[in-house]
Amino acid sequence: MRADAQAQPNIALIKYWGKRDIDENLPAAGSLSVTLDSLWTRMSVEFSDALRGDELVVNAASDEKMLPRISACLDRVAGTDRPRASIESKGNFPIAAGLASSASAFAALVVAASTAAGQESNTLSLARIAGAASGSAARSLFGGFVELQAGDTNIDVETIAEAGDWPLTVVIAITEEGVKPVGSGEAMNRSAASSPFYSSWLEQQPADLQSARDAVLQKDFARLAAVAEHNCLKMHSVMWASRPPIVYWNIATLSCMEAVRRLQNEGHAVFFTIDAGPQLKAICLPDEARLVRSALDNCAGVVRTMVSGLGAGATLLEST
């Protein structure tokens, strides 16, 4: 009746930005990400007939705001007639700040909940349930380089290369620790409804996805760098042109971009990506990580940096 699971956030290199179906939370296009290893969320789920309602504790504090999304996800795993649940979440990085905390949270949640409910589920079906709660969460069920394909009525998700096949390093520059002003779900719906660039963004996704997939399979760093940066900047251009505009960057985000450009101009293998928040993620070959980290640490406005390799998909830790 109780199970604990862990998942790591993932960083999209080809972004998910826009939904085909808002109610089912189905993405309008595919995406490709890397799952990290040193950032984590642990979720513990215990079903009990003695509880009168679901209870959620995040990092030792009760969380009423997130509870409806968590409860809806548990309903999808165990049915609406399930016993109520006590859910506890812990993580080692900032929440809701553009570091994909919802991805690792929902990925860990579905693994813990299905085990606590006594089910034997396969990873893809759990990824689909996690994806209904947070589109990017579907990818954190899998490790390494992960591709999500968006079908008309469902998603498919798979690892296209293992973490060990091409062990890249991700250096994260935290430029602000607060919660972001607009959540990604609301922001992408606003982009779809009002950005003049949204339709061309979607049109170009299949080609970007294919280019990134080929680059990963051939371990072609320069090709992956070019398509991933272009894809990230296109996504943010869509946001900037939305009404009202959505700008997640701050001055420090831009200094970090400039630092990455400087390293590239000196011939170093590094590129950046930025999600729905002001943090910059620099992806590099492992032997460049020290230099990249120190360059980002020296950017004005960077609060701290974190380094991660690539890791595994969501895993069950314990069940009783």
Binding site for ligand PMV (CB under 6 A): 12, 15-17, 31, 100, 102, 134-136, 184-185, 275-276
Tokens of 179: 């919660």
Interior angle at CA 272, CA 269 and CA 274, nearest 5: 165
Query: Can you tell me the distance from the alpha carbon of 167 to that of 283, in angstroms, rounded to the nearest whole number?
Result: 11
Minimal distance, residue 36 CB to ligand PMV, in Å: 12
C-beta of 133 vs 292, nearer to ligand PMV: 133
C-beta of 150 vs 259, nearer to ligand PMV: 150
Minimal distance, residue 184 CB to ligand PMV, in Å: 4
Minimal distance, residue 146 CB to ligand PMV, in Å: 11
C-beta of 185 vs 206, nearer to ligand PMV: 185
Minimal distance, residue 148 CB to ligand PMV, in Å: 8
Contact 146, 34 (CB under 8 A): yes
How far is the CA of 87 from the CAs of 45, 48, 132, 190, 267, in angstroms?
5, 11, 19, 31, 48
C-beta of 115 vs 136, nearer to ligand PMV: 136
Residue 152 burial (CB count, 10 A): 7
C-beta of 246 vs 284, nearer to ligand PMV: 246
Minimal distance, residue 161 CB to ligand PMV, in Å: 18
> What is the torsion angle, in degrees rounded to the nearest 10, for the CA atoms of residue 131, residue 61, residue 43 and residue 20?
0
C-beta of 55 vs 277, nearer to ligand PMV: 277
C-beta of 12 vs 289, nearer to ligand PMV: 12
C-beta of 12 vs 97, nearer to ligand PMV: 12
C-beta of 17 vs 47, nearer to ligand PMV: 17
Minimal distance, residue 164 CB to ligand PMV, in Å: 23
Minimal distance, residue 101 CB to ligand PMV, in Å: 9
Minimal distance, residue 32 CB to ligand PMV, in Å: 9
CB neighbour list of residue 187: distance below 8 Å, 6 or more residues apart: 239, 242, 246, 276
Minimal distance, residue 67 CB to ligand PMV, in Å: 17
